[in-house]
Amino acid sequence: MKRLIFFFLFVSSAAFAQTGIGTTTPNASAKLEIASTDKGLLIPRMTDAQKTSIPTPANGLMIYQTDGLIGFYVNAGTSGTPAWTRVNTNWTRSGNDIAYTAGNISTTGTITGGNSSTSSLSGFAANVASISANYSITAADNGKVIQSTSASAITVSIPTGLPTGFNCTVVQMGAGQITFSGTYLNRTGFTKTASQYSVVSILHLGSNSILVTGEMSN
């Protein structure tokens, strides 16, 4: 009987024990603790293709990817629908400043400054696009400077559906006069650039109210 009681006590103790590697007193909150002062933990290393080929990867599975965007990846999805998420970050911090130099930054939300009167954007340059024939403005032209180098007259079309707040600048660098077509507002009813080196602004104020103004004539 005593042997049977000892057996059950042993099994019960083993079921709730922690395992320590490099330590005989693993933390009570850890099922496994690895302790070392001169060595680290090396998890499986593989390429992106090898990672993608893992059959039914468990949720929480982690690997180290050695190509593409190198770094630690964890499956944040399910084994049937994996969603490999990169754990590393390309952001760097210096004091209260953060920087990102590894690629492009995009957002579908709002970027808000800390103070409406003092917050500013700096280090950005307007893209200058050159045209030499008839051209239709697109949403991708937002913030651009469009210069016409045409020696003969051309037409710049302004469509409806541009995003609210859209703005761009059109410059007649060549001898060819630019005619603006579309539905827009102009205080004097002018539809063309005044002459070579004229500057005209296109501004969308919402509800397809588009203002075209600057050095213009007919």
Q: How far apart are CA 9 and CA 151, in angstroms?
A: 96
CA torsion angle for 160, 166, 171, 175 (degrees, to 10)?
A: -10
Give pLDDT, residue 1.
Answer: 54
Using DSSP, state whether 12 is helix, strand or coil.
helix
CATH of 128-217, one of 2.60.120.640, 3.40.50.800, 3.10.129.10, 3.20.20.370: 2.60.120.640
Asked if 43 and 64 count as a contact pair (C-beta separation under 8 A), the reply is yes
Q: Against a cut of 0.85, is the pTM above it?
A: no
In the chain, where does the domain assigned CATH 2.60.120.640 lie?
A: 128-217
Give pLDDT, residue 3.
Answer: 56
**CA atoms lying within 13 Å on the CB side of residue 143:** 5
168: nearest Cα among 133, 119, 135: 135
Q: What is the pLDDT of residues 74-99, one digit of tens each?
A: 999 999 999 999 998 888 888 888 88
Q: What is the pLDDT of residues 165-205, one digit of tens each?
A: 999 999 999 999 999 999 999 999 999 999 999 999 999 99
The two tokens of residue 210 are: 């588009």
Q: Residue 192, Cβ neighbours under 10 Å: how many?
A: 17
Q: What percent of the chain has pLDDT over 90?
A: 71
